[in-house]
Amino acid sequence: MGQHRIELASWRATEELLERAEIRRGEVKAIPRADPTGINAESYSSDKGNMNRMWTTDDDPSTQVARNLWGEIAADDLTDHLNETVGYEGKMRVARGNTQTGANPLLSHKVATGLDGEALLFESTREDTDLEHRVELTLEFIIKALRSISVKLNLGDEGTPEPEPEPEPEPQLETIELPEDGQGQTGHSNICGVAIVPDRDLKALEVRLGGDRHDGAKDITAIHVYDDKQTPLATKQTAGLDHGDWVGIDYDFAKGQEYRILLDGEGEQYVRYRAEASCPYKGDGLTVINGSYSPGDDSQTESYVYNIDRIRGSLTEGIDEPEPDYRNVELSEVASDENASVADDPAGGERPVASIDCQEGKPQHYSVETRWELEDLVGHEPDVVHFRYQIYFPTHFEFHQSMNHGGTKMPGPADHRGEGAAGGSHNPGEAWSARGYATTRGPNDATEDESDIPLGKQVYDVTGASKDYGHMHSWKRGANKGEWVTIDERYEMDEPGEFDSRITAWVNGKKAFDHDDYQFVGEGHGHKGVHEWRWHFYFGGRWGSPKEQSKYVRRFGVWSGDNCPELEDLE
């Protein structure tokens, strides 16, 4: 709101806001030329006097113009009163000044006393600044003030700096060709592949499955990365691929470190490809130093390579599936929570991870309760959205053992704008949630893969409103302690009032859950996409952690709409 002609930055910044801003949530009233008579006269005041002395605090404003403006202002939660000054001695800095007492007939005093509300007074200086700089500072203040009260806005391109040039694409590394005159060997169940040493830092590897297509490579279901100490670092599911197909695995491969790239049928017998070799094979970005028929040092050979006949490094991630619309590798925002921290990877990986800390014996102890709105992550509330993150439960992690569901809450999406949908409070059709849980092995939580930790979803929706705490939907696959587990979850929203919304989940690339008759939004409500992702970790129900302990998360990604990755068994 501009009141004085000689304070050009205030009303010009407000005019620029009106010209450039797209309001995406909330409402903004902007009055650039509050005193047009004074502005046109190029004067500090109009013929009625100084407008910023007309805001009588114990009565109506003293002029009709001010009274008309007050009718607009009084409906707002926050007033930006913009001024500029030549600078008070000692105040030539960014500072927070005095609060308003109502002792003077100023607009900020009037808002504070007449509305019991908040008014922000911003003073830009004319000393050692030009008008363009003052307008820029004032506009920045307006934007930050509005965002502080949850008004969401975007500025158009007009008047914004030129975008930074796109970086040059990373060069494509050459493929290392390994022997391909090998044979398919039936009846193998051990993990086999090659050992490599990168000569530069790599973000990913691509390997081609060796052998002929009739050899049955579809029995190979996973590719693993180990270090030279036999520590598992990463796993990528390969189910459905055949000999001659390429598969990629994202991992930060460090220069000079030895890694073992091993494929298997996850305990089941498969057709192993073996070819005579003369290692090492040096190529662009890495060297294949050995064939490897287990992670151990005594299972390395220079005479053979296994399961792989082509390999190449990559300087970028996401080589074999669409890039996420949003990616957060280290989850530093989650780790900033009071009961979380940035920690070393418990499996020995190079990147730090988020440690989620559980305090002993605290019922309903919230380790983390952080919410990320999808509009902030991907720019809108999608009807179809795919989430991925990795979680690690240490081998010594314990659950509460005296109840069937003695577990811990885990993340998931929700929409709590209508209140409810948690803690036994229902608001069917208006609010919903689909948080995860990890639990002890009870009669309702048996997994087909006999994993250490059953997983599931606690779902509040219209169909679960008759249940005290919504649906407790167990998955057929779970997590194992002592290894990173990749969890994929996809949500498909149907129209309000329809019973066709769907949740699909995968654990380490294999389908674990698929249910498609939820109703998240009730009839009579407007269409809604998925609103937010809740990083929600705590023990309970009504029990606490049996001891001080931590679990770990990393590598969060979000895909939306047609950009969602393709995974096994999704019809």
| pLDDT per position as a tens digit, 214-223 | 555 557 878 8
- Rounded to an integer, the average pLDDT of 103-131 is 68
Contact 16, 30 (CB under 8 A): no
Please tell me the distance from the alpha carbon of residue 528 to that of residue 385, in angstroms, as a whole number: 13
Q: Which pLDDT band holds residue 491 (cuts at 50, 70, 90)?
A: very high
The pLDDT of residue 80 is above 60: no
Residue 403 confidence (pLDDT): 53
- Rounded to an integer, the average pLDDT of 57-79 is 66
Residue 466 confidence (pLDDT): 77
Q: Which pLDDT band holds residue 88 (cuts at 50, 70, 90)?
A: very low
Rounded (5°) CA angle 21-27-31: 70
Contact 232, 224 (CB under 8 A): yes
- Rounded to an integer, the average pLDDT of 35-40 is 64
Residue 565 confidence (pLDDT): 84
- Every domain of the chain with CATH number 2.60.120.820 lies at 176-314
Residue 161 confidence (pLDDT): 43
DSSP 8-class letter at 406? -
Mean pLDDT of the chain: 79
Q: Which pLDDT band holds residue 388 (cuts at 50, 70, 90)?
A: very high
Characterize the bridge pairing of strands 326-328 and 510-518: unpaired
| pLDDT per position as a tens digit, 410-437 | 999 999 887 887 777 788 888 899 999 8
> Can you read off the two tokens belonging to residue 343?
């920690």
Least confident of 11-25, 189-203, 387-401, 477-491: 11-25
Residue of 344 and 159 predicted with greater confidence: 344
Which class would CATH give 331-563?
mainly beta
Contact 124, 138 (CB under 8 A): yes
> Can you read off the two tokens belonging to residue 190?
């051990």
Residue of 365 and 536 predicted with greater confidence: 536
Residue of 11 and 54 predicted with greater confidence: 11
- Every domain of the chain with CATH number 2.60.120.200 lies at 331-563
| pLDDT per position as a tens digit, 257-274 | 999 999 987 667 788 899
Q: Which pLDDT band holds residue 162 (cuts at 50, 70, 90)?
A: very low
CB atoms within 10 A of CB 339: 18
CB atoms within 10 A of CB 24: 12
DSSP string, 484-551: EEEEEEEEE---TT-S-EEEEEEETTEEEEEEEEE--S-TTSPP----EEEEEEEE-SS--BSSSEEE
The pLDDT of residue 372 is above 90: yes
176-314 is classed in which CATH architecture? Sandwich (2.60)
| pLDDT per position as a tens digit, 539-569 | 876 778 889 999 999 889 999 998 898 876 6
CA distances, 314 to each of 203, 256, 348 (Å)? 6, 16, 21
